[in-house]
Structure 1
Amino acid sequence: MAGSNELYSPVMSDALVILGAAGIVIPVFNRFKITPVIGFILVGLLVGPFGLGRHVFEHPWLTHISITDPGGLDIFAEFGIILLLFSIGLELSFGRLWDMRRMVFGLGMMELVVIGSALTFILAAIGQAFAGAVALGLALSLSSTALVLKITNAATPVGRAALAMLLFEDIALVPIIFLLGALAPHASADGMGNLIHTLLWGAAVIAGLLVFGRYLLPPLFAQAARTKSPELFLAASMLVVILASLLTAAVGLSPIVGSLIAGLLIAETEYHSEVEQIMEPFKGLALGVFLITIGMSIDLLVVWEYLYSILVATVGVILLKAVVTGVLLRLMGARRGTATETGILMSSPSETTLIVLSAAATAQLIQPGTNQFWQIVTAIGLTVTPLLSMFGKIAARRVDQVEAPHHPAETEDKPSTIIIGFGRVGKLVADMLTRHDRPYIAIDTDTDFIADGRAQGYNVAFGDAARGDAMERLGAENAAAVILTMDVPVTAQRIVRKLRQQYPDLPIIARARDAEHAALLYRAGATHAVPETLESSLQLSEAVLVETGVPMGPVIASIHEKRDTLREQIMEQGGLAEKPALRSGVLTKDRETPGAAQ
């Protein structure tokens, strides 16, 4: 019995509550197309110490459905932010980050300085001591990396602008903490020396990560890929992000700096898509824990007691940040809709606001009551961030007076063809696409094929189409076609069936071993299945006819006719009627897709 009680500890109870919350919140909110962000915050509000946890002593059974140790979740919440920054690094690259340098250190710096100065002036004007006003101004000027980048898409103009500002804020967090320490009433005189010491050691650690990571990570992930073990891939990914975070934290920098660099380094390898896919569930769960801790920090009784002041402060901060951010973006040339949406999206306070507020309270720059007041304002601001995002999109459309998509027209290139499998057949398909100026991306799980292809200049990366959402990340929804060249019949059928279910209108052309295999592929939903045995026979026949003196025109016509006849027979064998769009091997965009209704 004692062993049972030890097993069912408060930590275990809290873990079960969180997992139960995730199991309910994510599917329910996704069902109604609402971001789970709001759901996690509401769960934190309900099960936290100011919700059901308030009544645990009166009703002990509530222990099983409430959080009994909120402080124990802090490390998991911080880990969620670390994984989020790691995933941001995976979506970037050093080249892309360098291209964004003007926005990061131009727009990002101006946004932080202008908003921080404006808030400092306003708070000082209403009676806050100057040092405390500086601390509050800097804290409230920060925006939520965890929520903003969860809501928006970093490939859009809004996402790029938000990412640039958030990156600078994350970089500036360490100097801000040191500045607050220097402003403290009893600060030591060597505060600036400590800052310089930290920055020097931080620069050395970052340089070491860049050098060693560039040479060590490719062989590490190549070895993990050869094993074809997702568990080993996950272990290698976690090892990299944890080591990088610990190293930057050890020299006084934020651990999120290390996680971002780890992501950037892996983004330079061909394995970044697979790593991002494997890490996604863990990032989502850890981020959910962070959002639950935000909800737990809201005391509704205090909110009700100071409702007017809290609402005025929340609305005031949001309006000021939205206006300043929007104006700065317009000054830098952004269109009105982009400036409007980005300004509103970036207007709420941040999870790092809570860190800066805690540092300011520790440095005795603000009173405990002031700290609690602005913590509640921050928690409410984070809660309404998804609503601000929706309002920002509506406002952007009104400003532009069009229902325009968020993707800029200049980035809309030709849709790419996705080649699954990059052996002999995959290379030949890639060569023909290149010959006719058709973009493509090829994936394979064999690291030797990938290394050989990349050495020859092919656009090939590591990816497993049979698992997870790898095809979604490659843009299958907008792809010109998907070509399966693999010689593994069962896997090919499974991938075809999965793709047809997810993308009913996607052209899927699959390599088949023989007529029987082609029939199975058609039944799974392939648009076109090419049996190797029949095609080799047709090519042999074509060569014989040409060599015996038959003109090329009639030969080609007869070969096409025979191919159509064989295709009809194969599709009848598969229990499907041939669609007109497949005649003579021609694919049309408005065809009816075989197997789409299955």
Structure 2
Amino acid sequence: MTGYFIQAFIYLIAAVIAVPLAKRFGLGSVLGYLVAGVAIGPVLGLVGQETTTIQHFAEFGVVMMLFLVGMELDPKGLWAMRVRLLGLGGLQVLITAAAGTAIGWWLGLVWQTALAIGLIFALSSTAIVLQTLNEKGLTKTEGGRSAFSVLLFQDIAVIPMLALIPLLALPELMGEGGSYAEHGSLSLVADMSPWLHGLVVVGAIGLVIIGGYYLGPLLFRYVVSSGLREVFTAAALMLVIGISALMGIVNLSPALGAFLAGVVLANSEFKHEIEANIEPFKGLLLGLFFITVGAGINFQVLAAQWPTVLALGLAVIIVKGAVLFGLALLFRVRSSNGWLFTLSLAQAGEFGFVLLTYSVQSNVIPVDVSQVLSLVVAFSMFVTPLLFIAYDRLVLPRYQTVKNDQRNADTIEEQAPIIVAGVGRFGQVVCRLLRAHNIPTVALDLELEQVELLRHIQIKSYFGDASRSDLLQTAGISQARLVVIAIDDRERAVGMVKYIKKYYPNVRVLARAFDRGHGYQLREAGADDVTREVYHSALELGGCALTAMGVHPLRAKQMIESFEQHEKDHEDELFEAWKEIEEGISFSPRYGELFMKLEEALSTPIQPERSDPKE
């Protein structure tokens, strides 16, 4: 027993040390797990042959991942992105798999093995790419959305790939890599005729779909009635394990059953609770799986064949990048977005390890070839952060310069009494309200997509930096009555207010503030009216929260009105107290006292002297 504890401690401490470090350096958690495995396996020799046994157990994390992927699939959302999903994603997988198969066949591999390798390298790293896109704020860009569509299609495509690989088994490899049958799995259909086997398979899939739709909610309602959270967790695990076992005994992929169950339960009332309970197990088991992959890397193979690994790794990135770049041009994902789409998906992915292991177990890829391919997959994933750095430092500045040069040459052809600086989510609403009352405006923004969007709805807008004095003069600042400042840059917004109030003091300035402190900076700069972007929406949501907890709607409205009025009454005092803090005082007692009074104001509407609203 002590030996098991020591082994578990080694795996866990490796993950605890390596993964946070990898994320801190922008390498992602998957690479952290791989590095941890390399450290405790080939480098330090702290783990050994038990990694293969642990890997079979940890593969259940992949089953859980596909269960959660199925639960996240929204039919309406999928239909809305069908062009990117089926077009970009489908073509990327097909063309890349075909290219990989052709290269493998050209290198002398049999077509079954070459096809399996092509499928493996058609996949990209969902974990690394999505995490990096989120960290860099690129998820909402055209390139980011296209990359997400391809990744989603790849995750779905893993299901038919897992079903196809056993059909490619080579008789001469039988017994070399092992199979699931050798690990004690049972088969219900081993001695059945083909037509009966088919009926059993269809019946098993039907049982998963119908049972999940009708019996799943009944099961979870029964469990919830017990009031024990651990029983709900046990029920969620029982569901995934049971479906995986059912798929296994009819010779189907356990991941296929888990995926179907996830899709069936996607609209369940218990969806979020199930996800919350499954997610920790999925993350831990997947992490353990990647650690075992890293621990299983054969450094002797790497030392002996590093030129082959390096050449194949670069070939994967180049060939896959060429396919992606061509698809970006075909689907009009251009300029920097096309390069983001290409560079972000040019690597192999974590599912490559899964398919590689499964291919060896299914007697499709020889063990010696799989060792080299495992190193190639890992190498391409290690290079991914460098591809994102290349995008940031080489690609993006070039296209930003071109874009600025093109748009700065435009001249503002019209002037208006109102200038709106910044037409994002805040400034757009202002422009639309003014347009609804036939009040002419000139809108300026540095984001081309926002400018073009306003032009589509017949609002005069121009690309340009509204904080530039020459651009403001061309827009007619000297004759303007009002300037609305809603740009997404705190310092530029404050500088604009100072400039306008110094040289055009008669122009009224309305400014959007990010928070209270920024609002005071704008006020100090001379803004006539300042609105915090989340203030009124927060008050409205707070009122909804009060109503949801049983407070009468009229009483909730009274509390909100009292809150607003009290803050207006003490606005000057709060401003002066804030200036004390800005001058170097770490904490102003008067500032804290004013906030305490603000909280006391919430009780004003419920004093006995005020009549309660009638029910």
Normalised TM-score (structure 2): 0.58
Does residue 40 (structure 1) correspond to residue 33 (structure 2)? The answer is yes
Displacement of 1:136 in angstroms is 2.9
Determine which of 43, 49, 59 is the counterpart of 1:51. Answer: 43
SS in 1 for 2:593: coil
Alignment partner, residue 262 of structure 2? 263
Alignment partner, residue 2 of structure 2? 8
Alignment partner, residue 116 of structure 1? 97
Equivalent runs, 1:149-188 vs 2, <5 Å: 157-181=145-169
Alignment partner, residue 488 of structure 1? none
CA distance in structure 2 between the partners assigned to 1:116 and 1:275 by the alignment: 35
Equivalent runs, 1:14-413 vs 2, <5 Å: 14-30=7-23, 35-48=28-41, 50-53=42-45, 65-67=46-48, 69-100=50-81, 103-145=84-126, 147-148=128-129, 157-181=145-169, 201-354=200-353, 356-357=355-356, 368-388=367-387, 391=390, 397=396, 401=400
Q: Which moved more, 1:129-138 or 1:573-582?
A: 573-582
Equivalent runs, 1:431-510 vs 2, <5 Å: 507=538
CA distance in structure 2 between the partners assigned to 1:269 and 1:342 by the alignment: 34
Check 1:131–1:51 CA distance in 2 against 1; reply closer, same or farther (3 A cut): same
Please list the CA deviations of residues 477-528 of structure 1 after superposition, one character each: whole Å capped at 9, or x if unmatched: xxx99xxxxxxxxxxxxxxxxxxxxx9999478989xxxxxxxxxxxxx99x
CA distance in structure 2 between the partners assigned to 1:205 and 1:382 by the alignment: 37
CA distance in structure 1 between the partners assigned to 2:556 and 2:154 by the alignment: 60
CA distance in structure 2 between the partners assigned to 1:264 and 1:136 by the alignment: 28
CA distance in structure 2 between the partners assigned to 1:67 and 1:255 by the alignment: 27
- Once the two structures are aligned, what percentage of the paired residues are identical? 27
Please list the CA deviations of residues 527-557 of structure 1 after superposition, one character each: whole Å capped at 9, or x if unmatched: 9xx9969986998xxxxxxxxxxxxxxxxx9
Check 1:411–1:142 CA distance in 2 against 1; reply closer, same or farther (3 A cut): farther
Contact 2:61 2:286 survives alignment (8 Å):
yes
Q: Which moved more, 1:285-294 or 1:197-206?
A: 197-206
CA distance in structure 1 between the partners assigned to 2:277 and 2:88 by the alignment: 33
CA RMSD of aligned residues (A): 5.2
Please list the CA deviations of residues 387-446 of structure 1 after superposition, one character each: whole Å capped at 9, or x if unmatched: 545555667745753899xxxxx997999xxxxxxxxxxxxxxxxxxxxxxxxxxxxxxx
SS in 2 for 1:315: helix
Q: Which has the larger radius of gyration?
A: 2
Displacement of 1:93 in angstroms is 2.6
Displacement of 1:274 in angstroms is 3.0
Please list the CA deviations of residues 548-592 of structure 1 after superposition, one character each: whole Å capped at 9, or x if unmatched: xxxxxxxxx9999799999xxxxx99963149999999xxxxxxx
Contact 1:103 1:164 survives alignment (8 Å):
no
Contact 1:329 1:339 survives alignment (8 Å):
yes
Q: Which moved more, 1:317-326 or 1:219-228?
A: 219-228
Check 1:257–1:27 CA distance in 2 against 1; reply closer, same or farther (3 A cut): same
Does residue 577 (structure 1) correspond to residue 594 (structure 2)? The answer is yes
CA distance in structure 2 between the partners assigned to 1:93 and 1:267 by the alignment: 7
CA distance in structure 2 between the partners assigned to 1:559 and 1:378 by the alignment: 58
Aligned letter for 1:162? V
SS in 2 for 1:576: helix
CA distance in structure 2 between the partners assigned to 1:96 and 1:538 by the alignment: 36
Displacement of 1:211 in angstroms is 2.1
CA distance in structure 2 between the partners assigned to 1:246 and 1:161 by the alignment: 31
Check 1:184–1:342 CA distance in 2 against 1; reply closer, same or farther (3 A cut): farther
CA distance in structure 2 between the partners assigned to 1:413 and 1:251 by the alignment: 56
Please list the CA deviations of residues 24-75 of structure 1 after superposition, one character each: whole Å capped at 9, or x if unmatched: 3344445566523222111100111x2222xxxxxxxxxxx54551112213
Aligned letter for 2:11? I
Displacement of 1:375 in angstroms is 2.4
Check 1:577–1:70 CA distance in 2 against 1; reply closer, same or farther (3 A cut): same
Check 1:340–1:270 CA distance in 2 against 1; reply closer, same or farther (3 A cut): farther
Displacement of 1:311 in angstroms is 0.6
Displacement of 1:18 in angstroms is 1.8
Check 1:76–1:129 CA distance in 2 against 1; reply closer, same or farther (3 A cut): closer
Displacement of 1:202 in angstroms is 4.6
Check 1:336–1:310 CA distance in 2 against 1; reply closer, same or farther (3 A cut): same
Aligned letter for 2:2? Y
Equivalent runs, 1:530-549 vs 2, <5 Å: none
CA distance in structure 2 between the partners assigned to 1:272 and 1:284 by the alignment: 18
Contact 2:124 2:151 survives alignment (8 Å):
no
CA distance in structure 1 between the partners assigned to 2:217 and 2:83 by the alignment: 30
Check 1:164–1:381 CA distance in 2 against 1; reply closer, same or farther (3 A cut): same
Aligned length: 437
Aligned letter for 1:111? Q
SS in 2 for 1:252: coil
Alignment partner, residue 450 of structure 1? none
Displacement of 1:303 in angstroms is 1.7
CA distance in structure 2 between the partners assigned to 1:356 and 1:43 by the alignment: 21
Please list the CA deviations of residues 344-398 of structure 1 after superposition, one character each: whole Å capped at 9, or x if unmatched: 3333234444455456667776654333222221232344445545555667745
Contact 1:74 1:290 survives alignment (8 Å):
yes
CA distance in structure 2 between the partners assigned to 1:144 and 1:344 by the alignment: 12
Displacement of 1:268 in angstroms is 0.4
Aligned letter for 1:317? V
Please list the CA deviations of residues 207-234 of structure 1 after superposition, one character each: whole Å capped at 9, or x if unmatched: 3322222223334334444555432332
Check 1:32–1:137 CA distance in 2 against 1; reply closer, same or farther (3 A cut): closer
Gapped runs of 5+ residues in structure 1? 1-6, 54-64, 188-192, 405-409, 416-479, 482-502, 513-525, 540-556, 567-571, 586-598
Aligned letter for 2:53? G
Displacement of 1:130 in angstroms is 4.5
SS in 2 for 1:267: coil
Contact 1:298 1:379 survives alignment (8 Å):
no
Contact 1:109 1:168 survives alignment (8 Å):
no
Contact 2:563 2:601 survives alignment (8 Å):
no
CA distance in structure 1 between the partners assigned to 2:566 and 2:172 by the alignment: 90
Displacement of 1:104 in angstroms is 4.7
Aligned letter for 2:145? P
Gapped runs of 5+ residues in structure 2? 175-191, 404-422, 429-513, 516-533, 571-588, 603-615
SS in 2 for 1:401: helix
Contact 1:80 1:283 survives alignment (8 Å):
yes
SS in 1 for 2:59: helix
Check 1:169–1:399 CA distance in 2 against 1; reply closer, same or farther (3 A cut): farther
Contact 2:70 2:263 survives alignment (8 Å):
yes
